């Protein structure tokens, strides 16, 4: 019974970390093509004047589940993310490590790992998510600073 509860809560946390019902951010699906997903995310970023946040991770990743749970429990955090970024999940697993796609990105350490790109597809930053952790979750303060920093960067693009 305990295992069923754990499995259901993990599934809930993964699904809840989806933004706007876009297929490229619903879950870490090893069958998805990150190049096609990126093209869709890029189109949305252009339309919405947002940055792209790639979330590298996988279903096997405990901290990816903690991230999903953190976002689910903090609606304001989810709204802030949605207002700043088009979020795209990239599966990195034994089943599909997406090595070709990852070869275009900066070196990363640990999962989940964030890569920030502009609407043109240029990498403008990255974030080791360990710096945002607190206990077995994430720090609201540090996560808010991360979003605020990138929101300011994004806003400067549109300020004459």
pLDDT given for residue 156 in this prediction: 82
Is 14 or 116 the better-scoring residue by pLDDT? 116
Q: How confident is the model at residue 96 (pLDDT cuts 50, 70, 90)?
A: very high
The model's pTM: 0.87
pLDDT digits (tens, 9 = 90+) for 20-61: 678 999 899 999 999 999 999 999 999 999 999 999 999 999
DSSP per position, the chain: -HHHHHHHHHHHHHHHT--TT-GGGS---TTS-HHHHHHHHHHHHHHHT-EEEEEEE-TT-HHHHHHHHHHHH-HHHHHHHHHHEEEEEEE-SSS---HHHHTTS----SSSEEEEE-TTS-EEEEEEGGGGEETTEE-HHHHHHHHHHHHHHHHHTT--
**Considering its fold, how many domains does the chain have in total?**
1
- Identify the CATH number of the domain in which residue 68 sits: 3.40.30.10
pLDDT of residue 21: 75
Residue 65 predicted with pLDDT over 70:
yes
Residue 94 lies in domain = 2-156
């Amino acid at each position: 019974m305990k295992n069923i509860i754990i499995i259901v809560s993990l599934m809930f946390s993964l699904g809840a970390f989806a933004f706007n019902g876009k297929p490229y951010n619903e879950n870490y699906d090893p069958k998805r093509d990150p190049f096609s997903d990126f093209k869709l995310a890029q189109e949305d970023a252009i339309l919405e004047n947002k940055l792209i946040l790639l979330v590298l991770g996988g279903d096997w990743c405990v901290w990816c589940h903690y991230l999903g749970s953190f976002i689910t429990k903090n609606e304001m955090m989810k709204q802030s993310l949605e207002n700043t970024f088009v979020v795209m999940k990239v599966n990195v697993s034994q089943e599909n490590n997406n090595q070709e796609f990852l070869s275009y990105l900066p070196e990363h350490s640990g999962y989940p790992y964030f890569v920030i790109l502009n609407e043109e597809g240029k990498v403008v930053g990255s974030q080791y998510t360990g710096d945002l952790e607190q206990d077995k979750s994430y720090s609201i303060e540090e996560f808010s600073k991360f979003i605020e920093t990138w929101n300011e960067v994004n806003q400067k693009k549109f300020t004459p």
